[in-house]
């Protein structure tokens, strides 16, 4: 059941990423059709912009994310023995380099991983997490974060953010041209032929940011399920992760978390125990904790 869960989540991730890239290409085609009368030109422009955004964002350092979340680095086991050794053990089992270790002074229990790849990764845990969790539960949480590192989720989230930013740039580009009176101006003979294409382009441009947000959140939620399963794989102890998630269900919102980093955390740092209607879940950065617990119990 464990490996079936992992394989299913991997397939879903491929579908979401493919859909995300297709959305970028479609938006580019719509922008190119609207501004230059050429969908091909728009697709090329969109791909170039997406590549530039991705390169810039991947090049950002871990220190920026840690500073945004007021985290301070520890450099040896002497500063926090249990956290250091748990991270060290999980990294060894996952066969990835030991990541840098940070602590966030916040009473709410939470943790996240970031970086570009396993060789340049880092994990952070709040003081509240270390106080609330026993060794078994802390291993479950750190196993979850190390799985994010091992599976390159840290880079995948960066790419998703870059693609969303590229889509926003393209939409804003059309908006600016629109207000300036730019865009296509077809002859009367062409308007009847191209009216449907123009309507489709406008609708796509308007709905693209919403679709990008939904795709980004879906990707984030799916990787959380996969990281939960990966934690069980590393620890061989599903009860540790289940117990940790049960404690996180009743956690208070964090005081130090940066909102733009919310999707990195193991649970939503702004409202860990929130409950919404099914439609609102489309925009959640994390799947409901009860759903995550249920999946682990089924393993």
Q: Which residues are catalytic?
A: 145
Query: Residues 6 or more apart from 43 whose CB is under 8 A from it?
Result: 25, 28, 29, 32
Q: Which residues of 231-246 are buried (b: 16+ CB within 10 A; e: fewer)?
A: bbbbbebbebbbbbbe
Other Cβ atoms within 10 Å of 260 Cβ, number: 11
**Residues in contact with 23: Cβ distance below 8 Å, sequence separation at least 6, in sequence order:** 163, 167, 208, 211, 212, 215
Token pair in block for residue 254 = 């964090």
CA dist list (Å): 108 to 119, 120, 191, 229, 239: 29, 26, 59, 24, 21
């Amino acid at each position: 059941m464990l490996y079936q869960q992992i394989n299913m989540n991997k397939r879903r991730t491929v579908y979401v990423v493919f859909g995300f890239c297709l959305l970028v290409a479609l938006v580019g085609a719509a922008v190119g059709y609207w501004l230059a009368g050429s969908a091909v030109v728009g697709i090329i422009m969109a791909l170039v912009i997406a590549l530039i955004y991705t390169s810039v964002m991947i090049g950002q350092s871990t220190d920026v994310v840690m500073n945004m979340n007021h985290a301070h680095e520890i450099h040896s086991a002497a500063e926090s023995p249990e956290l250091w050794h748990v991270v060290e053990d999980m990294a060894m089992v996952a066969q990835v380099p030991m990541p840098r270790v940070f602590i966030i002074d916040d009473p709410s229990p939470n943790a996240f991983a970031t970086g570009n790849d396993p060789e340049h990764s880092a994990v952070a845990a709040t003081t509240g997490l270390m106080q609330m969790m026993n060794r078994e539960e802390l291993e479950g949480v750190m196993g979850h974060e190390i799985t994010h590192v091992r599976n390159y989720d840290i880079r995948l989230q960066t790419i998703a953010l870059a693609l969303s930013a590229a889509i926003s740039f393209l939409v804003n580009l059309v908006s600016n041209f629109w207000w300036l009176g730019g865009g296509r101006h077809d002859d009367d003979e062409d308007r009847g032929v191209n009216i449907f294409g123009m309507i489709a382009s406008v609708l796509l441009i308007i709905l693209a940011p919403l679709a990008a947000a939904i795709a980004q959140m879906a990707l984030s939620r799916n990787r959380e399920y996969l990281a939960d399963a990966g934690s069980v794989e590393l620890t061989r102890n599903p009860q540790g992760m289940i117990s940790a998630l049960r404690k996180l269900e009743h956690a208070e919102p964090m005081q130090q978390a940066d909102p733009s980093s919310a999707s990195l955390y193991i649970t939503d740092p702004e409202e860990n125990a929130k409950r919404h209607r099914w439609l609102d879940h489309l925009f959640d950065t994390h799947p409901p904790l009860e759903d995550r617990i249920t999946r682990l119990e089924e393993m």
